[in-house]
Amino acid sequence: MINFRTPQTALAYREAIHRGLLQGSCVLCSKPSLEAFIHWKILPNDYPYDEIAEVHHMIVPVRHVTEQNLTSEEREELEKIREEYIHPNYDYILEGTQKTKTVPAHYHLHLIVIKKDS
């Protein structure tokens, strides 16, 4: 199976899950943003897909909410951010499925800049 994380980052991620560090209070709510919008913020990823990504950030709603409960204002702003900020600055937007999300209660998308070939 392909792992998007280096062995070191994958181990740190598994250990964080095992120790319960990704459960309890939401790690996405309290994390400082790299870029802030009205309803959204861009965050660094503590366990990046560093095997493939030069940059791995996440965009999350400021409000702790699932995708199904986003307001029309949040959805509209996300589309504007995609066009004006994400598309010029990142290569890919990735979203996990329900079976792979470790923070399913706070909607988030992964923003990736792929590593360049050496």
* Number of alpha carbons in the 13 Å side-chain half-sphere of residue 12: 11
Percent of the chain with pLDDT over 90: 64
What is d(CA 113, CA 95) in angstroms, rounded to the nearest whole number? 15
pLDDT for position 98 = 62
CATH code: domain 7-114 is: 3.30.428.10
What is d(CA 72, CA 84) in angstroms, rounded to the nearest whole number? 18
Q: By C-alpha distance, which of 62, 16, 64 is closest to 35? A: 62
What is d(CA 25, CA 70) in angstroms, rounded to the nearest whole number? 20
pLDDT for position 59 = 97
pLDDT in tens, 41-66: 999 999 999 999 999 999 999 999 99
Q: By C-alpha distance, which of 92, 75, 85, 88 is closest to 36? A: 85
What is d(CA 27, CA 5) in angstroms, rounded to the nearest whole number? 19
All structural domains of the chain with their residue ranges: 7-114
Residue 80 has pLDDT above 60, yes or no: yes
Neighbours of 61 (CB within 10 A): 24
- Per-residue pLDDT band for 79 (boundaries 50, 70, 90) equals very high
Q: What is the pTM of this model?
A: 0.85
